[in-house]
Structure 1
Amino acid sequence: MDNSNRTVIVTGFEPFGEHTVNASWVAVQELKKLGLGSNVDLHVYEVPVEYQKVQSLVPSLWKQYHPRLVVHVGVSGMATTVTLEKCGRNHGYKCLDNSSFCPDSQCCIVGGPDCINSVIDMESVCKRVTASGLRVAVSVSKDAGRYLCDFTYYTSLYLSQGRSAFIHVPPLGKPYSGEGLGRALQAIIQEMLELLEQAEEKIHCQQHIH
């Protein structure tokens, strides 16, 4: 594996609205303490809840690190489980961000596809993590909510041909602690990397057959 392939970037969001402490960033900082194993270079970033800042930050992370995988983590006041998002959507961004801005086009990438799926099979990740006896409930969703979470996810999926993931976490204490969420992120992202590796080996084998 070359060095760039060992890099994983995980982001959380800054506080917004009623989330004066953002559980996603707390969880990501806990994950940073735990790490993803000695063969993974983990970098974490706190993402501003602002459309224009996301539009410059996300491409710069892909350009700077050429990561194997980027995982964005966000909080959802409605979530009661740790939720794996299958896809990002391009249209419908009407809610104002922390700087009271929303894109005129109400979309992420003008002319981009309506929806982009992650290359990672979130159902498999969910099953495997659940079977591992993690004491945190995990579920899968097809709607990341048309706010900064969805916007960030779509932007990353677009730039990486789907080599991104998004995880929604519930607010702290509803019911999980920051530490519990950090452990859940660790287990989930390790499964994602495992699946990514298997998928690549399969592609590699197929290339040799033809």
Structure 2
Amino acid sequence: MNAKRHSKRKVLLTGFGPFGDAPRNPSLEAVRALDGREVAGHVLVARELPVEFGVARDALRRAMREVRPRLVLCTGLAATRTAVSLERVAINVDDARIPDNAGRQPVDVPVVRGGPAAYFSTLPLKSMLRALQAEGIPAEVSQTAGTFVCNHVFYGLMHQLRNRGGIRGGFVHVPPVDGDGPFTPALLERALGLCIKVALRTPVDVPLAAGAVD
């Protein structure tokens, strides 16, 4: 059984560990809840990334070498958002308003020196959006992943995948699961599982109306 599972194609999921004084991070809890499940003939493998510039990107690189995925979905918390945000663009700049967990606070520093200004997600974002909304899950296509560690990882992922056409990847920001918002851990888990299912089964995205601007 273990050998059979090991031979299956894999999806790499990443979430960030706790940031600052927060005791937990819903992005990590959601991907851990999905770890080991099978979707469309693929095993889901979850990994934790630290909220640290440079170190997070290196950890992602190691995870990709270990897992050898066919699809990569990185996730992170967007504390002020109220919907699952499917990120379209990763930009080549680290510009931290606050320090990361290691005290680093880069300003106007490229993620990859000499890299292109931006990369686009290769996930079928509009198809994912349609599926989420059909299930009544608040969702949007976002045009910016910010300039903190989430964007740093998103850009690093797409830079790593630039010459690997058989592997698709992208980033999803998740909203908080506490307070008065509509999201519970179970709903967030269901949303990410649906995103993965659609991404694996949709080779060509569908054209829909534009996404959000933030």
| Aligned equivalents of 2:46, 2:119: Cα separation in 1 | 24
Amino acid aligned to 1:185: L
Q: CA deviation at 1:154?
A: 0.5
Question: Structure 1, residues 66-119: CA drift from partner, whole Å, max 9, x if none?
Answer: 211111111111110011001211114234210001347622110111110012
Which SS does the other structure have where 1:120 is aligned? coil
Which SS does the other structure have where 1:106 is aligned? coil
Alignment coverage as a number of residue pairs:
192
Question: Structure 1, residues 144-200: CA drift from partner, whole Å, max 9, x if none?
Answer: 1111111101100110128211111111133211111001100111101112xx24x
Amino acid aligned to 2:131: R
Amino acid aligned to 1:23: P
Which segments of 5 or more consecutive residues in structure 1 lack a partner in the other structure? Answer: 200-210
Equivalent residue runs for 1:161-176 within 5 Å: 161=162, 163-173=168-178, 174-176=181-183
Q: CA deviation at 1:5?
A: 7.4
- 1:192 and 2:199 are equivalent in the alignment: yes
1:79–1:170 Cα contact (<8 Å) kept: yes
Greater fraction of residues in helix: 1
Which segments of 5 or more consecutive residues in structure 2 lack a partner in the other structure? Answer: 1-5, 205-214
Question: Structure 1, residues 12-49: CA drift from partner, whole Å, max 9, x if none?
Answer: 1111136432111121122227x243721211011100
**2:26 aligned partner:** 23
Q: 1:130 to 1:105 in 2, by over 3 A?
A: closer
| Aligned equivalents of 2:38, 2:141: Cα separation in 1 | 22
| Aligned equivalents of 2:27, 2:21: Cα separation in 1 | 14
TM-score, normalization by structure 2: 0.81
- 1:154 and 2:155 are equivalent in the alignment: yes
- 1:108 and 2:111 are equivalent in the alignment: yes
| Aligned equivalents of 1:140, 1:167: Cα separation in 2 | 9
**2:47 aligned partner:** 45
| Aligned equivalents of 2:140, 2:65: Cα separation in 1 | 31
Percent identical among aligned pairs is 30
